[in-house]
Amino acid sequence: MKEIPNHIAIIMDGNGRWAKQRKKMRTTGHRQGVEALRAVLTKADELGINHLTVYAFSTENWARPKAEIKALMLLLLEYIKNESKALHKKNVRITTIGDLGSFDEKIQLEIAKAKELTKDNTGLNFNIALNYGGRDEIRRAVEKIVEQERKGNREGISVTEEEIERYLDTRDMPDPDLLIRTSGEMRLSNYLLWQMAYTELVFTETLWPDFTGEDLEKAIETYQNRDRRFGKI
């Protein structure tokens, strides 16, 4: 049997189109998306995946209509509040990537609580990308390195890849082995740009609210049939 991926990253896309097909509000699609996430988390946990990183809100998503952003924020707050205890019971460790500073204090507080509650858990690492953009993450890392230099904590212009990685939001995580994007779009949309240098990409037409645990298993199977060369022969 081939190895299961250690780290799976997902771009949960297509909630709006799922709702449109049913003549429902986009928010209804986002709600159904949360249900899909629940099932996928359960399956990932069962399969013994170590890290699952999901794209929940990008730095570009602020350009959406105010009402949709508000609905997404409410949903996020509700999700963190309702779900963290159950996830804690499952030994899941909740982490986030992205700049949380732009969110309401209430949301920041709930996220901090969920992280604190689950920080010593040894099961699945459930990592949520919130106000995340790959470029912004790299920009923030560079800023921190410059700051260290200014404070006199480092010297010289030479920067290694390892040093950059120490300042990325994913500093304690391995790179993703597998990326899954739903809804038929074949682009990265500013997701984990540094970390996905050698990630296997799997795209599916399925809209995120329709994505199931079985679809996750199928994507893993596709991954297992790939030949990862990392530049070698």
Residues marked active site are found at 13, 61
In terms of CB distance, is 55 or 126 closer to ligand IPE?
55
Smallest distance, Å, CB 94 to ligand IPE?
17
| Whole-angstrom distance, CA of residue 64 vs CA of residue 36 | 22
- Which amino acid is it at 108? Q
CB atoms within 10 A of CB 80: 22
Angle at 140 between CA 137 and CA 146, to 5 degrees: 145
Q: How far apart are CA 33 and CA 178, in angstroms?
A: 20
Give the nearer residue to ligand IPE in terms of CB position, either 130 or 141: 130
In the list 56, 87, 141, 178, the residue contacting ligand IPE (rule: CB under 6 A) is 56
**Binder of ligand IPE out of 5, 7, 9, 11 (CB under 6 A):** 11
Q: Is 195 exposed, middle or buried (0-12, 13-18, 19+ CB in 10 A)?
A: buried
Burial 198-232, CB ≥16 within 10 A → b, else e: ebbbbbbebbbbbbebebbeebbebbeeeeeeeee
Q: Which does 187 bind (CB under 5 to 8 A by kind): ligand IPE, Mg ion, none?
A: ligand IPE
Site for Mg ion in 5-44 (CB under 5 A): 13
Contacts of residue 153, Cβ cutoff 8 Å, sequence gap at least 6: none
The listed partner (Mg ion, ligand IPE, none) that binds 195, CB under 5 to 8 Å by sort, is: none
Question: Interacting stretch for ligand IPE, rule CB under 6 A, among 53-61, 89-97, 143-151, 212-220?
Answer: 53-61
Letter string b/e over residues 154-166, b meaning 16 or more CB atoms within 10 A of that residue's CB: eeeeeeeeeebee
Confirm or reject binding of residue 16 to ligand IPE (CB under 6 A): yes
Q: Which of 185, 205, 214, 221 binds ligand IPE (CB under 6 A)?
A: 185
Nearer to ligand IPE (CB atom), residue 211 or residue 223: 211
Per CB under 5 A, residues contacting Mg ion are: 13
Binding site for ligand IPE (CB under 6 A): 11-17, 55-58, 61, 72, 183, 185, 187, 189
